[in-house]
Structure 1
């Protein structure tokens, strides 16, 4: 039984994701579709609108056979570490292919760009360091460095978010000579950052924005995702009266920062070059999270970078914790969130050949990375009422979801 891997966040699972899944099945001819999904905090440093378990149920109902969790320490990271955790998780579960969405839409563009990059990597790194030294943000510094080595064509625009991630996936596969074939599906109709819903295939950003503004699911927003997603959004909101967004964590984060000294903040992953002073100085004046990030933000410190730092402050994720994943070649375990009967059959076939443990309950494994998972869950559910918080955290030690 062949499997194809998808690297996802499903925040929430929408019609564009469904299109990606259908096309991935067609391109790969795989009989088992496996998603490695970020947990409760996402790559750009945001809380997921509903928790990972409800998003897992929506994904399984939408046609995914197995949902795996991308460990927290890989999930809230820049593209290279995010790609490392995602691709290596899929490699450990034995996928024969991966399929990712991109603005480019052609796999050969990524492989030819990789060949140019490897040939001129020394020049790229030197240009990157020079641009960072000038005070540019990492994305801008990278963009200029790519231009210096000739990666400027319309076919491979490495300033586009999905192209950046796709290029990192290809690098991870080829750098480690993994037996995984890559496919890509071109993004259709909506851009990654689009703020408004203009068709039934809309960006997750625009869907979340409308849900949060309206406070409920409207006919307009419901047209952009399957009924299974509507059911899980409704169910989560009915239980919690919450769709998660950063402003709900503002008071907790502000309290954390105001009770930490500069050295404690400096030890947090992502806090470099004196950023701790800027975070601490602006904390007492901020009236909202938006206002706070805006006060810290500079050309060098992007909105996304600051959001990631804020997640790491909430979860007390220190630089030393991230060193573990930078030095390890692969992931220490594969975390199973849910599966269908087809997925269960694939796992029965595959699990004996795996090189790392397949973890279905956190209590059954003792990797140091699982301490970070516990902290992330506690932080994510901290805005709920105590009785609800207890029940939702209890899911971490329960069995995987099976439909």
Structure 2
């Protein structure tokens, strides 16, 4: 058996994800799909709509064969670090190919861009530093630097979120000499940030979440945009947990943290830089909601995403020293779930693994996994009281989900 790897968040799994999943199998000609999936907090600095266990169930029901957790130390990071962690999981798991969705949809564009930036990295970095000195955020400075150096259509648009991630997947494979074929498929119809439904069957996760969190929300309105297995699990989750998670669920906890920590303590939190602790405290005192807080906090220099990631680390009390990476690879494989086919593949692969395979949390101790445990405990505080203990216990008691 051969495996293709994908990097996912499934927040929640929808028809666009199903399209990507089926395309990954088809164009790689591989029969096993392995997913590196973010845990309870995501790359854009948001709490996941549902727990990693619920999203694992969605993935397995839709056709993924093995789900590994992307550790907090990588999952809540900028694109390059996020990609390095995910690629290291898929390489260790034995994937012969990696397939990602992108706005470009053309591997030649990615390869041209990779080779160009390798040759022109010094000048590229100089322009980035110069533009950031003028107050631009890193993503904006990066995209503008690239346009300055090579303003033609043989390169891709590095301002698009999936293009950025895809570029870093390819770079991670190339830089580390990983024998893995890299493939891409075009995102179908809905764009990553689309907040409104623009198709009869395909919608972005952003627009689906917006519908679920709207005041007059009726979960049935998103039924046409997700597989039936996803829809059933959304219903089940809302019945058992009481609500879906979003930043507003954690706002009282974040506000408490912001107004109780000193400036010195805030400066010790990961990603709190350049005196922004003053704005964090000031905005925290004034704001009545998380959205209100973010609007008070945002500046031209800091993207909404970077500020949200900063808030995640404040919420989880994650210190700078805790997030220092010894290298760009994960140090364990946390197995969240598998199918029959996935189990067979994993049984054959086990003897070749160079890092521990973790299926029982109580039997493994590690610095990276300590952050995952802490994040899971904080995540549980955002649900209704009757569900808190269930989620707190589940992190330790839940074995990998076996989907038959």
Q: TM-score per shorter chain, which class?
A: over 0.9
Preserved contact between residue 278 and residue 296 of structure 1 (Cα < 8 Å)? yes
Aligned to 1:328: 327
Preserved contact between residue 361 and residue 396 of structure 1 (Cα < 8 Å)? no
Aligned to 1:343: 342
**Which structure 1 residue ranges, 5 or more long, are not aligned?**
none
CA distance in 1, matches of 2:308, 2:288: 16
CA distance in 2, matches of 1:67, 1:215: 34
How far off is 1:40 after superposition? 0.8
Aligned length: 401
| Cα gap change, 1:244 to 1:152, in 2 (>3 Å) | farther
How far off is 1:149 after superposition? 2.7
Q: Deviations over 1:81-109 (max 9, x none)?
A: 00011000111111000000000001121
Aligned to 2:170: 170
Aligned to 1:195: 195
Asked whether 1:113 is paired with 2:113, we answer yes
CA distance in 1, matches of 2:216, 2:390: 24
Aligned to 1:362: 361
Q: Deviations over 1:216-273 (max 9, x none)?
A: 5444310000111111111111012111111111111000111000011111111111
Alignment of 1:230-249 (within 5 A): 230-249=231-250
SS in 2 for 1:309: helix
Aligned to 1:278: 279
Aligned to 2:381: 382
CA distance in 1, matches of 2:48, 2:87: 21
Using the size of structure 2 for normalisation, the TM-score is 0.97
SS in 1 for 2:286: coil
Preserved contact between residue 3 and residue 31 of structure 2 (Cα < 8 Å)? yes
How far off is 1:391 after superposition? 1.6
CA distance in 1, matches of 2:392, 2:91: 29
SS in 1 for 2:159: coil
CA distance in 1, matches of 2:134, 2:366: 40
Preserved contact between residue 270 and residue 318 of structure 2 (Cα < 8 Å)? yes
How far off is 1:135 after superposition? 1.4
**Which structure 2 residue ranges, 5 or more long, are not aligned?**
none
Aligned to 2:259: 258
| Cα gap change, 1:214 to 1:291, in 2 (>3 Å) | closer
| Cα gap change, 1:329 to 1:294, in 2 (>3 Å) | closer
CA distance in 1, matches of 2:152, 2:314: 36
Aligned to 1:148: 148
How far off is 1:151 after superposition? 6.0
CA distance in 2, matches of 1:384, 1:118: 46
Preserved contact between residue 116 and residue 149 of structure 1 (Cα < 8 Å)? no
SS in 1 for 2:381: helix
CA distance in 2, matches of 1:267, 1:332: 24
Preserved contact between residue 81 and residue 328 of structure 2 (Cα < 8 Å)? no
CA distance in 2, matches of 1:163, 1:234: 33
CA distance in 1, matches of 2:242, 2:151: 47
How far off is 1:214 after superposition? 5.3
CA distance in 2, matches of 1:154, 1:320: 41
Aligned to 1:70: 70
Aligned to 2:40: 40
Preserved contact between residue 151 and residue 158 of structure 1 (Cα < 8 Å)? no
SS in 2 for 1:295: helix
How far off is 1:204 after superposition? 0.4
Asked whether 1:138 is paired with 2:138, we answer yes
CA distance in 2, matches of 1:154, 1:193: 25
Preserved contact between residue 84 and residue 172 of structure 2 (Cα < 8 Å)? yes
How far off is 1:386 after superposition? 4.4
How far off is 1:362 after superposition? 1.7
Asked whether 1:396 is paired with 2:392, we answer no
Q: Deviations over 1:117-168 (max 9, x none)?
A: 1000111111111111121111111112212331653751100000000001
Cα RMSD (Å) of the superposition?
A: 1.3
How far off is 1:395 after superposition? 2.0
| Cα gap change, 1:35 to 1:399, in 2 (>3 Å) | same
SS in 2 for 1:339: strand
